[in-house]
Amino acid sequence: MSQYIHQVGEFNEKILNIKDRPIGLLTIGELDYAGKAIEEELQEFQEAHANMDMIGAVDAAIDLTYFAFGFLYRMGLTSEQIVECCSAVHKANMDKAASRNVSKRVVGEVDAEKPEGWVGPEEAIAQLLGG
């Protein structure tokens, strides 16, 4: 995965000309762009499913991650920081338990539930970002 994240960083730098930035939130314009890009890719993902298009669904799902990692790069995170933050989120997610009773999700689908005493990744992410 780290190679993929480095590739997304390379794209943002070489193609979009987005150079190293201080860590911070997206500008209002970038935030608007992010929302529209994610919505467009999600729609493509849903349309591919409706059309029984496995290749299109895979492409759209990967594009969703490409945009998401690109937004982190635009927020000033290095590829290494993105990888470490992903690991922190993964570690926290691995402490969850499978459940079909998560009310904010689709009823009947398996999701992950936070057990009693669960600790989220926020503190680890803050340390990784120097905050």
Across the chain, which has 131 residues, the per-10-residue mean pLDDT values are 94 95 97 98 98 98 98 97 97 91 71 91 96 75
CA–CA gap between residue 125 and residue 84 (Å, rounded): 8
pTM here is: 0.91
Show the domain range for 97: 81-131
Measured distance CA(131)–CA(72) in Å, rounded: 16
Question: How confident is the model at residue 99, as a pLDDT?
Answer: 82
Residue 69: the pLDDT is 98
Whether residue 22 is found in the same domain as residue 67: yes
What is the reported pLDDT for 15? 97
Query: What's the pLDDT at 105?
Result: 65
Angle at 4 between CA 94 and CA 36, to 5 degrees: 85
Picking from 77, 94, 121, the residue at the C-terminal end of a domain is 77
Do 35 and 58 sit in the same domain of this protein? Answer: yes
Tell whether 104 and 49 lie within a shared domain: no
